[in-house]
A and B are shown apart, each in its own frame.
Chain A
């Protein structure tokens, strides 16, 4: 996917003017936000908070031991009969997947929802190489037949209204007219059944990898994940290296936090722990399972000051809670990962110079950190990224000079007084007619009139000695 993050402000402006998008996004995010709250805190505030802290510790601990855990996971998986591959970047991952497909002389691939596959633009690559790829998650399927991109990491079509989805399904796959969401789902389900039976290979992502048992864990709601990983003869999972956790017990905590934070469910409808291909005494399941561990910039993040970003379990709660995401929609962020966590990982994965507006696409309100099931300090990382931005060559000269002058006038009494006098003098300026940054303020707000006397003056002129 072409990176368009530099265009954030313009794209957001467009999204704000799009009434359908606004109503769809606010409906979807509000619902998830409210349901999350009741699900996470179902056994009381303290319990919810404790389990959150526990999840946070597990992911920190896992990251601290990442190299060892990856080795352990590989060994255990191999013992289980899973073939483990490593990919340093998107190209390598795609190539490895293609090689397996070609080796099996496969023509048709069915996929369950995977953000990592979006990250490496796998569909495009496979299609260019003559492979037919079908998304089987309802949302992803709608995205695929619309030629669109997901705008949310959990609810890919959160930006679409029901009516627009209906129209797409009628146009693209001949669905008869209906306004009932369930009827639509059933229609798509029937349509996809055939694809499932014909697919040669199933491709999934992975929510967690358990190192001690070499298991791949998936959480889905529609059952498509289970079909993708059990019906076709070959299953390939592409998973980011940060997904490894030590033990099954750790998984028990995280698998509670993920659906609660994502959709407000106490458990995902389908919770899969995949331990390998079909065994001799088993009647179904794939004959071969591959796991491709993807780096694609993660080890660089790992050794930077932003390691914490890798703790993300992609629950989407921070998107739902974010007032900026809620009005801007996911596409404005210009790449695969939107919202607060996207504003952090996009610059880290694609380069700060290709996503320079994103660290500033936040009012630093802190809602993201407040809801994050693994307590990632997103505002702190945004501040750090802003600091990094100022050190870049192309960082704005105007801001630099502006800040220098600001600092100077706040550092010396003489300058501070002088600035104070200037502000006072501006009482009589037609501020609302001024251009530039002030215009950005006055487009939406009146400017307050500076006081005739500053607090410094009032204090000196008598408040100091009043009622003493």
Chain B
């Protein structure tokens, strides 16, 4: 069961987009897609311009003071937001699960951290669990055969997975297969990928092998970090299979629907 289901009533509330630092500079199209999807659902979206990063890189590396200073900025940037939605399972998990730990000894901010954690959602979970929307009308212009990679933090902290499958299976011109070991880590792990390069590379190789033997030609996921890792690995080895964020497919499908 998803633990967000029983919380905050999200309907009719204004959403602040947390785009994440990675998407901001490397894959802004995912942010644009997220905005389109949310607007299609009739939601008023704003984008607090002062946002940067959630602090996860430093937190995961053990540098809590540095993480804290960035996370504190996040708290203040989003203080006025009713709901925060982010197209990243990992960053959502950081805010929801790690902020309460990170701010445990910071009496000034602890309460605020809990509140922010409460109102932060990952995109697919927000749509399906929060809004109760399981299907969005849409159609891809070309037939597409997809499979899902379940990124670790979303899967294990936020119980993500079923939500995105529901949303994607609702759009036309999509065939879905399952990826072998879809729930095993792609080897990214933030700084792990460069600190333990060989181990990370070997983990990535297993993911690539599974993708290559999978019937689907497009792998969908909900974290741009894993996307960057897997996509980069496939490219390096000359494969042409696509790894992409589910928001891009969903946004494309609903925009086609618009023109019909």
Contact = CB atoms under 8 A, between A and B. Distances in A.
- The judgment on whether A and B are partners is yes
Contacts of B235: 445-446
A463 B194 contact: no
Interface in B26-63: 26-29, 31-32, 35, 39, 47, 49-50, 52-53, 55, 57-63
B233 interface: yes
A450 B152 CA distance: 25
B25 A323 contact: no
A410 B50 CA distance: 10
A458 B47 CA distance: 11
A459 interface: yes
Interface in B209-238: 228-229, 231-233, 235-236
Interface string A88-117: 000000000000000000000000000000
A360 B199 CA distance: 11
Given A323-B184, A323-B187, A324-B203, A411 B198 contact: no
Contacts of A389: 62
B201 A443 contact: yes
A361 B199 contact: yes
A429 interface: no
Contacts of B202: 16, 327
A466 to B, nearest CB: 8
Nearest to B186: A363
Interface string A379-405: 010010111111000000001100110
Given A366-B156, A383-B59, A420-B24, A444 B70 contact: no
Given A366-B152, A455-B24, A444 B49 contact: no
A117 B164 CA distance: 49
A19 to B, nearest CB: 12
Residue among A386, A406, A438 facing the most chain B CB atoms (10 A cut-off): A406
Contacts of B66: 403-404, 406-407
Contacts of A144: none
A80 interface: no
Q: Name B's interface SS.
A: helix
Interface bin, chain B: 35 or more
Given A323-B206, A444-B236, A410 B21 contact: yes
A198 to B, nearest CB: 45
Contact of A458 (B28, B60, B63, B155): B28
Given A366-B153, A444-B233, A447-B232, A327 B192 contact: no
Contacts of A463: 32, 35
A464 B47 contact: yes
A328 interface: yes
Given A12-B196, A361-B199, A363-B189, 16 more contacts: A9-B197, A360-B191, A360-B196, A364-B189, A364-B190, A367-B185, A383-B60, A390-B63, A407-B65, A411-B70, A424-B25, A441-B197, A443-B201, A445-B235, A457-B28, A467-B39
16 contacts: A13-B198, A360-B191, A364-B190, A365-B189, A380-B101, A383-B62, A410-B73, A413-B49, A438-B194, A443-B201, A444-B204, A444-B205, A445-B229, A451-B27, A451-B29, A463-B35
**Shortest 10 CB-CB distances between A and B: which pairs?**
A363-B189, A445-B232, A386-B62, A407-B66, A365-B185, A440-B197, A366-B156, A455-B28, A444-B201, A365-B152
